[in-house]
Amino acid sequence: MNDAHLHMVFNHFPIIGLFFGIGILAYGIIKKQTILVNTAYVIFIVCMIMAKATMMTGEGAEEIVEELGISKEIIHEHEEIAETFMKVLYVLGILSILGLVANVKKHAKASIVSYVVLVLAIGAAVLSKSVGTSGGEIRHTEIRANANNSNASIENKEQELDNDDH
């Protein structure tokens, strides 16, 4: 298994985990269930750890896909968005740790932490769409913004080849 493979394995958990964590946290807040809030905090902490693992394999993955002829520009765009996403996940993970401690100590401000974490997690989830899409565009040209233009070019080339054969 190389870094590109590991990168693809790791990168899904922070994105998908965020959505599960948000749902569990929101339900825990509504139902006033500390165990659910703590479960969401643990999910967010694991999201942070898995995102760090994803970042650690990113350089190796970059080298591999550059050898395949992928544009450095599209890789750089993904890298920039991923770095911003990672910063948000660091804050989310640290706040989740603080939230766990506040809940264990039954601190009066524990519920405020849960609301702050929920808002930050929703922001991270919105950002996750950009980081996931920009990463997907590296190898999945069909999801790029100019995919229709590329498809038209491919169709024109195919027609030219068909005409040359006749």
CA end-to-end distance (rounded Å), the chain: 46
CA distance 13 to 7: 11
Q: What is the pLDDT of residue 158?
A: 56
Q: What is the pLDDT of residue 108?
A: 93
Contact 75, 82 (CB under 8 A): no
Q: What is the pLDDT of residue 149?
A: 62
Domain count, the chain: 1
Q: What is the pLDDT of residue 56?
A: 93
Q: What is the pLDDT of residues 19-44, one digit of tens each?
A: 999 999 999 999 999 999 999 999 99
Q: What is the pLDDT of residue 37?
A: 98
Q: What is the pLDDT of residue 26?
A: 98
Q: 156 is in which domain, residue-wise?
A: 3-165
- H-run or E-run covering 9: helix 3-31
Distances from the Cα of 147 to the Cα of 30, 49, 137, 141, 152, angstroms: 43, 34, 10, 6, 9
Q: What is the pLDDT of residues 113-125, one digit of tens each?
A: 999 999 999 999 9
Greater pLDDT, 151 or 16:
16
Provide the 3-class DSSP secondary structure of residue 108.
coil
The CATH number assigned to the domain holding 43 equals: 1.20.120
Length of the chain: 166
Prediction pTM value: 0.83
Q: What is the pLDDT of residues 52-104, one digit of tens each?
A: 999 999 888 888 888 888 888 888 899 999 999 999 999 999 999 999 999 99
When the pLDDT of each residue in the chain is averaged and rounded to a whole number, the result is 88
